[in-house]
Amino acid sequence: MPKISVIVPIFNCANYVSEALDSVCQQTLKDIEIICVNDGSTDNSPEIIANYSQKDARIKVIHKPNTGYGHTMNIGINEAKGKYIAVLEADDYLQPDFYASLYEEAEKSGAQLVRSDFGRFYDHEGRRKIEYCQVTYDDLYGKILNPQTLDIRIFRSAMMSWTGIVLRSFLNTYCIHHHETPGAAYQDNGFWFQMFCQADKILYLPKLGYMYRIDNPASSVHNRSRLFSMNEEYAFIYGFLQHRPDLHKFLGIYWMKKYENNLFTLRRIDKQYQEIYLKHFQEEFKAAEAKGELDKKYFLPEEWCDVEVLLKTPELYLEKIYAAQYGYPYDQNLPYPAISIAVITGQHVQALHKSIQSLLNQTFGSFEIILLDDTTSEAVTQYCLSCCKHDRFVYVNTVSAARYQEALLKARGCYITFIDAGDTVKPEFLDILYSFTKQEQIELVSCSYEYNEDKARTQRLASSPPIKVTGEMKERMLFEMNFSAWGVLWGKLYSRQLLTRVWWSFLTGKEIYDNRLVAFSAAVQANGYIILPQCHYQRQYSQDEWEDENLPAVLTLLWKMAKAFGNTELLPKWGTYFLGSYWEEKLEANYQQSTLNKKSLAETSYLEFIKEML
């Protein structure tokens, strides 16, 4: 029995198959068989593989009519005699010790599947460019993993069948096979899913072994005409799960993987077909929602945010995806504005009107104004409705606690900024902040600000010239600067992608300081930020309303944020800043005597909280 059977599916790969066969024949592990399955090639691939089979007795050649990838792979696996099965695509190649390393680790560990890292490569002007690709998370390498635990990170690992080996007896025991529909594509997805739903011993190796070509124009991943191929493959997977009640626990993971791959398809297909595909996409997920099969815990926060948009407003979803696909693509011909301005309407018409007028005087033209009205004032509501007779305005009737979520759901711009009723911005506010985001490809820009009624309270966040902060310097700067720089949402321009990543922070309920946590966490998670010394934002000064009993909520929010960043060591630092700001404003509100007593109590509670959580 050979140690490994290598299946090489071949269809019109004459330009590449020699390199693939050279690399497998030259493996340091010699006890292998090489099964070349010719799927009706019309080029000279059959002649090439015939020549190789004459030189190397380990090569077995099977010729058959063109029936597609799935049937081709199943023919090869059925012919295999090796202890393990491997796949080598005819346009790829292998590092010399690839199979030796996999076999050794498989035998030592008893794993049913062993996978390793791979390289993406292409040839350009006589030189080969290679990109190293990890197949899984850093801490999952080198240990036996069990997919039956439903650890989502296992299922977020690379799906490719070719970058590893699988125990042949495992495939036979569970009758694992490829979907064989003629003309279908992505049939390795179903094969991968069957393996991972039934295996209980998987091993990942941090070793580069398989080299994957990305410049073959005939590759199926470049075929933009196969509109529903991915959906057909996932229908096959769904049928497999439905017929196995013991595997219904994987349905939530199935929909997460289906979402990933539907999104891949939506981005890949021609623009003329995107609306058709999107309608089908939404219908599938609405059906899953009705059956209770969508499970939020398997999605990343930003993914779940997009799923909710897909279910409610598919047109907006397409705009968001199109924007994300091309980075920061604002174009006058695109059907959405560059910037969405979320206005917290407040309770006073005069204050709101002042803010609106300052926005309408902007020198920058491509923006929309989202009026977030919690309907606490009938006069404000009527004013908002009158504004919305103009196309630039969007009216949102919301509760106070949900207004930030509503702003993100409604926003169509690639960037978002916030303004409170009564605050104003100078005419150049949007123009200057937007120009910095475009020039520097940065996710967050903040300007200095001053108070309308008291110019002496100017908060100048940077000295001239503007400061650009990235990398390790970023976190240190956050803690060294005045907290007011990052403890507020207003006075900043955020990329929508950034705010989507910190979506979890837009909490519902009446927890105090939730918006400050969002602002601060966005600064931490941004790819970098720019601080402008000029005061382009003018703040209407007002005393915040504080409730002593909300202090536990503040601490709980701090804990959630530290956990989300995976760094609870930051919690004491954040606590110092948040509580420092809390008590400073308390004292300003003339609570001196009572607050001083409560401050001592709160500090004690805070230390106990830290001790308990850590």
At residue 323, the pLDDT reads 56
Residue ranges of alpha helices (H) inside 26-151 are 45-55, 69-79, 98-109
Q: Identify the burial level of 89 via C-beta atoms within 10 angstroms of its C-beta, where 0-12 means exposed, 13-18 middle and 19 or more buried.
A: buried
Q: How many other β-carbons are positioned within 10 Å of the β-carbon of residue 298?
A: 21
Going by pLDDT thresholds of 50, 70 and 90, the confidence category of residue 475 is low
Predicted TM-score of the model (pTM): 0.57
At residue 467, the pLDDT reads 67
pLDDT tens for residues 266-286?
877 777 788 899 999 999 999
pLDDT of residue 498 exceeding 80: yes
Instruction: From residue 165, give the alpha-carbon distance in Å to each of 42, 152, 198, 326.
Output: 30, 22, 16, 36
110 close to 119: Cβ distance less than 8 angstroms? no
Q: Which residues contact 27 (CB under 8 A, 6 or more apart)?
A: 94, 96, 97, 98, 99, 100
More confident of the two residues 57 and 603: 57
Instruction: From residue 610, give the alpha-carbon distance in Å to each of 352, 517, 555, 579.
Output: 41, 18, 9, 13
At residue 599, the pLDDT reads 44
Going by pLDDT thresholds of 50, 70 and 90, the confidence category of residue 304 is confident
Over residues 242-256, the mean pLDDT reads 96
pLDDT tens for residues 134-180?
899 888 999 999 999 999 999 999 888 899 999 999 999 999 999 98
pLDDT tens for residues 422-442?
899 999 899 889 888 877 778
Nearest-10 Cα torsion for 218, 223, 228, 231? 60
Classify residue 335 by its DSSP letter: S
Place of tokens 């504004």: 387
CA distance 612 to 376: 40
pLDDT tens for residues 66-123?
998 999 999 999 999 999 999 999 999 999 999 999 999 999 999 999 999 999 888 8
Q: Determine the angle formed by the axes of helices 403-410 and 514-525, rounding to 10 degrees.
A: 50
CA distance 24 to 99: 9
Report, in this order, helix, strand and coil percent for the chain, each rounded to 5: 50, 20, 30
At residue 222, the pLDDT reads 42
More confident of the two residues 589 and 520: 520
Amino acid identity, residue 356?
I
